[in-house]
A and B are shown apart, each in its own frame.
Chain A
Amino acid sequence: MQISGAVAPAPPSSGLGYGPPTSLASASGSFPNSGLYGSYPQGQASPLSQAQGHPGIQTPQRSAPSQASGFTPPASGGPRLPSMTGPLLPGQSFGGPSVSQPNHVSSPPPQALPPGTQMTGPLGPLPPMHSPQQPGYQPQQNGSFGPARGPQPNYGSPYPAAPTFGSQSGPQPLPPKRLDPDAIPSPQLSELPPQQKTRHRIDPDAIPSPIQVIEDDRNNRGTEPFVTGVRGQVPPLVTTNFLVKDQGNASPRYIRCTSYNIPCTSDMAKQAQVPLAAVIKPLASLPPEEASPYVVDHGESGPLRCNRCKAYMCPFMQFIEGGRRFQCCFCSCINDVPPQYFQHLDHTGKRVDAYDRPELSLGSYEFLATVDYCKNNKFPSPPAFIFMIDVSYNAIRTGLVRLLCEELKSLLDFLPREGGAEESAIRVGFVTYNKVLHFYNVKSSLAQPQMMVVSDVADMFVPLLDGFLVNVNESRAVITSLLDQIPEMFADTRETETVFVPVIQAGMEALKAAECAGKLFLFHTSLPIAEAPGKLKNRDDRKLINTDKEKTLFQPQTGAYQTLAKECVAQGCCVDLFLFPNQYVDVATLSVVPQLTGGSVYKYACFQVENDQERFLSDLRRDVQKVVGFDAVMRVRTSTGIRAVDFFGAFYMSNTTDVELAGLDGDKTVTVEFKHDDRLNEESGALLQCALLYTSCAGQRRLRIHNLALNCCTQLADLYRNCETDTLINYMAKFAYRGVLNSPVKAVRDTLITQCAQILACYRKNCASPSSAGQLILPECMKLLPVYLNCVLKSDVLQPGAEITTDDRAYVRQLVTSMDVAETNVFFYPRLLPLTKSPIESTTEPPAVRASEERLSNGDMYLLENGLNLFLWVGASVQQGVVQSLFSVSSFSQITSGLSVLPVLDNPLSKKVRGLIDSLRAQRSRYMKLIVVKQEDKLEMLFKHFLVEDKSLSGGASYVDFLCHMHKEIRQLLS
């Protein structure tokens, strides 16, 4: 994308996003230009398509979508989700799945679609220019021909030419859009708030808007299923609702890459500085319309693998010699096909049974593992859940223990089970602890549970075997009796000290004794100061912030935690930690074990049953019920030329290739970085295969395989054209958040800025058409990189504000480490939804607005969410009726600030808002507690923290400022 109007050799045609010079006013508003949006399919045929140099390649498929897909202009505010229905037509070149192929029918949006939007034709809309055979794009093209996304029109609004720089601006047909902080007078000067008038002369509307990009992608790509048959396609954005049809490549729900077109050589890659990374979520949960991966049973011989590189059979393997051999697509080794696997080839060289076998036709599938893939050459036992409850004074006082015990009674009926199993195979055990540990024998034959106290915390062991881990249904009476008695037993406790390491050790030892993998649910309240291994001291010191020693705040206090974590991983013991701190608990240290064992950390500061019950219980329910794989090992294989070199996420690695995960659930993501170690071949592309060996919750040992084929390029432009900024940000955030462990925060920030500047400078130098050095030109695919990067830079971890505690920073740091792309996207750039703008009848989410205070109207209310927090901001002059119908009070002043629950009222507005809140919560993996914030209230400070386009109190730059800074950096690099 270019911001400056210096490029665009072709004159703007009707469809393209370069507004006419006269459209100044419209550019500053929202997006009234419906015409721009209609242009997507034709976008390729418009000046851009000419630029792509596709003469004559126009295929029927290409033209088909342009006729078929209709777009509703976003200005209407309505959703635009025409869906494609029906199976693929036979004879489709990339169709033809076996009968068992999931033919999904997307659920149409509630809104009636105009008949024209229904697309029943062949799967045309695959942007054909993604096919590898395409000739290279012309390098001077900027990102506006991003293959998948429609051009971003709105900052096409021209500025008056700035005479101060770029003296050659004159001849351009369009007034260049320039970002020069010094010289460009903002056209909207008069409309801006007075304080901004003096500071910025750049129109905030003229800079790339995340909202707009998201909207466009929704409109353009949310309509048809994303079919994975073609190599190197960029999937729709994570914010877009779309369906996936697996036709040989893994769904973007499983793997997303920073770029779908990899430079052939490491020199190119180094030049571009674009990190090559994949964000992998091996056990991602799928929408109900998409079938989960098929399970393939190859019997005793186990899955078929390449003899040399051990890659698993996948659709890219080449069968040769009439099917008697196959050539490994990763290492080119030629292997014999075992007799029982032999099948003839058809005339195209494809196996006749290719569509009957998921491993030959799909991107994602599972193998049943044989005993060779099991620990100790023994099939695993079903896993176990152990609930370990802090019963020290704090936990009792807050009512946590009572609440938890009450909840567990019913929650135990919802343990994850496999497929249609009648009851869960998972066994459960219970431990309570303060300074000592109490184990419970809940054997079904007992009339009463038995408690066993272990006070030897220095040298932990499990005091019982039989009766500790039990089947819920068999021991229900005893368990219920236990859960009834726990709160009573400790009701009078005076014990305030707790231990931590021995607790996990006990759980791990219990699993070891039972010879199974499993998960520990730890409910903990305080800094473990009791005399025991892993004893901690309060080392919180705000003075360290912005010093070289700041990194120590993120590092664990002692090595005991890492040692313990390693043992846990070896046993397949995953730890989920629920923290209920009143003060500093040293999350950085306590989260080491959950982090390394693939567990989750939940933190409820100053927990009070009345206020936080809903949030905690909801998180707990979800956490207990979610499907988990245990004792997992993940390995990413790549075709010769690139190699996985670095891994980010919640796991442990004992060598450089195997990602060991004691537990892995559907929310956990592993980001993998690749580096070249040889040349890649444009012809054959680059392949990724992610193989995950795990034990299912029923105790079945399985291998989940995800395959993804990427394109390779010799032209940098191809790289820039096929990037995905959201994934890039995911990688960069994780990279930076790991960096703070070892380097001062400032150095980490600088590294990020430098890298980003280099990426953009490289584009400018090599891909963009020559133009004034004073012009900021961004690749279309990366035009949001600056705004998002700025959000990362000013996040709590990298730039803490005064109100952020050390624990919060450590907490967020470890959360981000295993976030997927959708989560990082909204986490760094929160969603801000106006509540009264859209008609009350509309059932869809209102279109978001940019996260900036100046977008807030004091007559409206807004919901803001970032995946962890949820605010309802109420403007000071919001209508009284609205206040009444939502809060059941008569005026703005009577609204309780900090309210966390909206009253249940029977009116459309209340229902709608509450419904919207519920639907937002449903989209996130953690329950977001609502906080009602009133304008001008002191809580507003907290809220404003999330308005990320603004300057932050902690010194974070505003979007505009940062963009200027970026520009400066780029110019420096270029000169």
Chain B
Amino acid sequence: MATYLEFIQQNEERDGVRFSWNVWPSSRLEATRMVVPLACLLTPLKERPDLPPVQYEPVLCSRPTCKACNIDMPALIKLFPSFQFPPAYGGISEVNQPAELMPQFSTIEYMIQRGAQSPLIFLYVVDTCLEEDDLQALKESLQMSLSLLPPDALVGLITFGRMVQVHELSCEGISKSYVFRGTKDLTAKQIQDMLGLTKPAMPMQQARPVQPQEHPFASTRFLQPVHKIDMNLTDLLGELQRDPWPVTQGKRPLRSTGVALSIAVGLLEGTFPNTGARIMLFTGGPPTQGPGMVVGDELKIPIRSWHDIEKDNARFMKKATKHYEMLANRTAANGHCIDIYACALDQTGLLEMKCCANLTGGYMVMGDSFNTSLFKQTFQRIFTKDFNGDFRMAFGATLDVKTSRELKIAGAIGPCVSLNVKGPCVSENELGVGGTSQWKICGLDPTSTLGIYFEVVNQHNAPIPQGGRGAIQFVTHYQHSSTQRRIRVTTIARNWADVQSQLRHIEAAFDQEAAAVLMARLGVFRAESEEGPDVLRWLDRQLIRLCQKFGQYNKEDPTSFRLSDSFSLYPQFMFHLRRSPFLQVFNNSPDESSYYRHHFARQDLTQSLIMIQPILYSYSFHGPPEPVLLDSSSILADRILLMDTFFQIVIYLGETIAQWRKAGYQDMPEYENFKHLLQAPLDDAQEILQARFPMPRYINTEHGGSQARFLLSKVNPSQTHNNLYAWGQETGAPILTDDVSLQVFMDHLKKLAVSSAC
């Protein structure tokens, strides 16, 4: 019999789903006592090379309130008793079952032939207030990207600085652009009028039948198929100049990011609503004028910090955030997504703009300069293709969640917006974005992952019969990068279990990794709106309650505290989560926090776990590389450490190794093994770098190096200057911090868990 671990992995492989609980407590009361809610991480577009899409359309459950797509296992027929096989399934027999009825097809993908296919759209929104080098690098990246785009994709170009220019791409000879003032907020209607996208009212009424032909004509002035204008656009990009308006000493350049985005949104809104489109914003600094400005142009007034925000001293923040939220919501409504590529040494206003990417499923990339491999590779990686040769991106998805009646949907956390579809399976208690059973995900890729939270509503006095199963169906409509409409349906069923009698079962089916990530998402979601300490307190309380519930201990005896295997790692995750930049803003700018949180809310379980608790590998002569504890005690003189925090890859040479390298042993033929040792982490790091999106910051440092702080800030400070001598150990490296170590944390946790006070 397979272990739960295998079961969980198998499920993840097949369906892209990880539940916090894999056996469900059968009543509402019991479920709430479980502390960790019944929830799952769903990766709607998980790559399934073995899953070819079927060519017909799904059959819907005929009960109007249900509209579930179909059924994967005969058992589920019981759960959806109203299901009737339609005529298309007439040929069903024991040997010729439709794919839906085969167990391995709990996830199935349909291609829809109906409807006009519209090309993908890429609208570049480019900041020209950059340093010459940066602009040059950006221009080259953009020119390069043209060759990566599907040839029939439409591209558009908007540049901005003090003014915003929408470039017309169709004309010969004179290059033409529409210019907008960077300080004036315009409505979508005004923008469309000014771009000449709206036909005068009179002719439109008269010539309504002709209009469909005219419509693409008008918009194609700004959005053109790549294959037609790539030469033209390459030249245009090549001729792009830095914003010519003079910037006096002590001033920031005037940057109209807010208006530029607004125009980009308005342009697509007017021309291609509800089709797959990416607005790609490249910016090299904070918006300094107009709606959405984040900081004034006086250099002597620095951009807001967390300190300012706490002191309510960030005077532009609220207004700017409102502006970008409005844009993000409009964009989401249109089914487009906004990517933000912000490359600057200082902050660029990601805090205010984050919603643009967060709500629309766009990417957010933060770097120091466009002239770094971090940006260049990341940007290139957007256009990578999967095993079928398709782009790893999908657009305009709606995720529809259906549950069997014992469950209700509490909410979702991820790159999505609510579609406000109320229904009987929608819970009144919201976790994350709730109050709906459908969400819109405007842009997603195979790793985009949502946390979806449920509520068990079955009453205690209405027990579910033994062997009963609960079912959840995820229906994802989306536009594939090949511009086809597709529907992916994943149907999940889990056993109900009575807590009283089957607690062991439930415990064993606890997925602590998924639970940690799901709880972390809840915590981060709260942190966006609540004070940091409150969130920490809430997390702590949850942890303590969980320990109380599932720990084995004698009251008031901390030493007796034990956790079963399926819970043992959970407190450690929580410890690292508390220290992570997702909840701690100390030492991070608001932009960095926004950036980290953005990625945390969309990556899959593995990546999320890396973010919560970075992975540390140790390389030595003593054997093959091994994962070691993320602890200061792992920092040894004769080791090389490789740490992956998702955002950074750190290679750290121990003191001795560093000395050896300095002495140049690696160049001596007799010390070739040392050379190999040095090389090994580099190779491994390269492997991670190749696969990761966004490309992590790559740090190669050594004992005593200034960059070693990246490592030191992450490891568990088991040895600090406070306890170093008390411990009297020679191994490891002391960390100069007052943070509590994992050991102290655990001690406290045990004490609190066993105390009867709380």
Asked if A and B are interacting partners, one says yes
A463: chain B residues within 8 A (beta carbon): 163, 165, 179
In the assembled complex, B181 has its CB within 8 A of some CB on chain A: yes
User: Which of B189-197, B297-305, B407-415, B423-431 touches A?
Assistant: B189-197
A482: chain B residues within 8 A (beta carbon): 174
**CB distance B179 to A439 under 8 Å?**
yes
Beyond A446-B239, A463-B165, whether A455 also contacts B173 by CB under 8 A is no
The chain B residue sitting closest to A437, CB to CB, is B179
**CB distance A456 to B244 under 8 Å?**
no
A454: chain B residues within 8 A (beta carbon): 178-180
Within 8 A of A (CB), among B195-221: 195-196
Q: Measured between C-beta atoms, what is the minimum distance from B296 to chain A in Å?
A: 20
In the assembled complex, B176 has its CB within 8 A of some CB on chain A: yes
Q: Measured between C-beta atoms, what is the minimum distance from A138 to chain B in Å?
A: 73
Beyond A436-B194, A465-B245, A467-B244, whether A453 also contacts B184 by CB under 8 A is no
**CB distance B180 to A456 under 8 Å?**
yes
Chain B 308-351 per-residue mask, 1 if CB under 8 angstroms from chain A, else 0: 00000000000000000000000000000000000000000000
Q: Measured between C-beta atoms, what is the minimum distance from B725 to chain A in Å?
A: 66
Q: How far apart are the CA atoms of A461 and B194 in the complex, in Å? A: 14
Residue among A450, A459, A466 making CB contact with B177, cutoff 8 Å: A450
Chain A 421-457 per-residue mask, 1 if CB under 8 angstroms from chain B, else 0: 0000000000000001001100000101111111110
In the assembled complex, A485 has its CB within 8 A of some CB on chain B: yes
Q: How far apart are the CA atoms of A701 and B548 in the complex, in Å? A: 89
**CB distance B184 to A448 under 8 Å?**
no
The chain B residue sitting closest to A446, CB to CB, is B239
In the assembled complex, A464 has its CB within 8 A of some CB on chain B: yes
In the assembled complex, B175 has its CB within 8 A of some CB on chain A: yes
B246: chain A residues within 8 A (beta carbon): 465
Q: Measured between C-beta atoms, what is the minimum distance from A838 to chain B in Å?
A: 57
**CB distance A452 to B181 under 8 Å?**
no
Q: How far apart are the CA atoms of A485 and B176 in the complex, in Å? A: 13
Max chain B C-beta neighbours (<10 A), residue from A446, A464, A489: A464
A489: chain B residues within 8 A (beta carbon): 173-174
Q: Measured between C-beta atoms, what is the minimum distance from B161 to chain A in Å?
A: 11
Q: How far apart are the CA atoms of A417 and B165 in the complex, in Å? A: 36
The chain B residue sitting closest to A461, CB to CB, is B181
**CB distance A453 to B178 under 8 Å?**
yes
Q: How far apart are the CA atoms of A917 and B142 in the complex, in Å? A: 65
**CB distance B195 to A455 under 8 Å?**
yes
**CB distance B165 to A452 under 8 Å?**
yes
**CB distance B175 to A448 under 8 Å?**
yes
Residue among B176, B181, B244, B245 making CB contact with A451, cutoff 8 Å: B176
Q: How far apart are the CA atoms of A463 and B182 in the complex, in Å? A: 10
Q: Measured between C-beta atoms, what is the minimum distance from A849 to chain B in Å?
A: 57
Q: How far apart are the CA atoms of A449 and B181 in the complex, in Å? A: 21
Q: Measured between C-beta atoms, what is the minimum distance from A401 to chain B in Å?
A: 15
A456: chain B residues within 8 A (beta carbon): 180-181, 184, 186, 194
**CB distance B174 to A455 under 8 Å?**
no
A436: chain B residues within 8 A (beta carbon): 194, 196
**CB distance A450 to B244 under 8 Å?**
no
**CB distance A455 to B194 under 8 Å?**
yes
**CB distance B178 to A455 under 8 Å?**
yes
Q: How far apart are the CA atoms of A761 and B193 in the complex, in Å? A: 67
Chain B 13-37 per-residue mask, 1 if CB under 8 angstroms from chain A, else 0: 0000000000000000000000000
Chain B 595-629 per-residue mask, 1 if CB under 8 angstroms from chain A, else 0: 00000000000000000000000000000000000
**CB distance A465 to B244 under 8 Å?**
yes
Q: How far apart are the CA atoms of A489 and B176 in the complex, in Å? A: 11
Beyond A436-B194, A446-B239, whether A453 also contacts B244 by CB under 8 A is no
Residue among A461, A464, A485 making CB contact with B174, cutoff 8 Å: A485
Q: How far apart are the CA atoms of A452 and B173 in the complex, in Å? A: 13
B184: chain A residues within 8 A (beta carbon): 456, 459
Q: How far apart are the CA atoms of A482 and B177 in the complex, in Å? A: 15
Q: Measured between C-beta atoms, what is the minimum distance from B239 to chain A in Å?
A: 7
A467: chain B residues within 8 A (beta carbon): 244
Chain B 163-174 per-residue mask, 1 if CB under 8 angstroms from chain A, else 0: 101001000011
Beyond A446-B239, A467-B244, whether A451 also contacts B194 by CB under 8 A is no
Q: Measured between C-beta atoms, what is the minimum distance from A839 to chain B in Å?
A: 60
Within 8 A of A (CB), among B245-268: 245-246
A459: chain B residues within 8 A (beta carbon): 181, 184
Q: How far apart are the CA atoms of A81 and B479 in the complex, in Å? A: 94
Within 8 A of B (CB), among A618-659: none
Residue among A439, A450, A464 making CB contact with B175, cutoff 8 Å: A450
B239: chain A residues within 8 A (beta carbon): 446
B181: chain A residues within 8 A (beta carbon): 456, 459, 461
**CB distance A453 to B179 under 8 Å?**
yes
**CB distance B174 to A451 under 8 Å?**
yes
Q: Measured between C-beta atoms, what is the minimum distance from A676 to chain B in Å?
A: 53
B168: chain A residues within 8 A (beta carbon): 453
The chain A residue sitting closest to B178, CB to CB, is A453
Chain A 460-503 per-residue mask, 1 if CB under 8 angstroms from chain B, else 0: 01011111000000000000001001000100000000000000
Q: How far apart are the CA atoms of A948 and B158 in the complex, in Å? A: 64
Q: How far apart are the CA atoms of A463 and B178 in the complex, in Å? A: 9
Q: How far apart are the CA atoms of A448 and B171 in the complex, in Å? A: 12
**CB distance A466 to B179 under 8 Å?**
no
**CB distance A464 to B173 under 8 Å?**
no
The chain B residue sitting closest to A457, CB to CB, is B194
Q: How far apart are the CA atoms of A723 and B181 in the complex, in Å? A: 58
Q: How far apart are the CA atoms of A455 and B194 in the complex, in Å? A: 5
Q: How far apart are the CA atoms of A466 and B196 in the complex, in Å? A: 26
**CB distance B165 to A455 under 8 Å?**
no
Q: Measured between C-beta atoms, what is the minimum distance from A481 to chain B in Å?
A: 8
Q: How far apart are the CA atoms of A450 and B193 in the complex, in Å? A: 22
**CB distance B177 to A451 under 8 Å?**
yes
Q: Measured between C-beta atoms, what is the minimum distance from B197 to chain A in Å?
A: 11
Q: Measured between C-beta atoms, what is the minimum distance from B238 to chain A in Å?
A: 11
Chain A 679-705 per-residue mask, 1 if CB under 8 angstroms from chain B, else 0: 000000000000000000000000000
Within 8 A of B (CB), among A484-532: 485, 489
Q: Measured between C-beta atoms, what is the minimum distance from B171 to chain A in Å?
A: 8
B193: chain A residues within 8 A (beta carbon): 455
B196: chain A residues within 8 A (beta carbon): 436, 455
Q: How far apart are the CA atoms of A461 and B184 in the complex, in Å? A: 11
**CB distance B173 to A453 under 8 Å?**
no
Q: How far apart are the CA atoms of A450 and B177 in the complex, in Å? A: 8
Q: How far apart are the CA atoms of A467 and B180 in the complex, in Å? A: 18
B163: chain A residues within 8 A (beta carbon): 461, 463-464
A450: chain B residues within 8 A (beta carbon): 174-177
Q: How far apart are the CA atoms of A452 and B245 in the complex, in Å? A: 15
Q: How far apart are the CA atoms of A455 and B195 in the complex, in Å? A: 7
Q: How far apart are the CA atoms of A467 and B244 in the complex, in Å? A: 9
Supply 20 further A-B pairs (C-beta < 8 A) apart from A450-B176, A452-B177: A440-B174, A450-B177, A451-B174, A451-B176, A452-B165, A452-B176, A452-B178, A452-B179, A454-B180, A455-B196, A456-B180, A456-B186, A456-B194, A463-B163, A464-B163, A464-B244, A465-B244, A467-B244, A485-B173, A489-B173
Sampled A-B contacts (5; CB under 8 Å):
A436-B194, A455-B178, A455-B193, A456-B181, A459-B184
Nearest 7 A-B pairs (CB), nearest first?
A: A463-B179, A455-B194, A466-B244, A451-B176, A453-B178, A452-B179, A451-B174
* A interface list, Cβ under 8 A from B: 436, 439-440, 446, 448-456, 459, 461, 463-467, 482, 485, 489
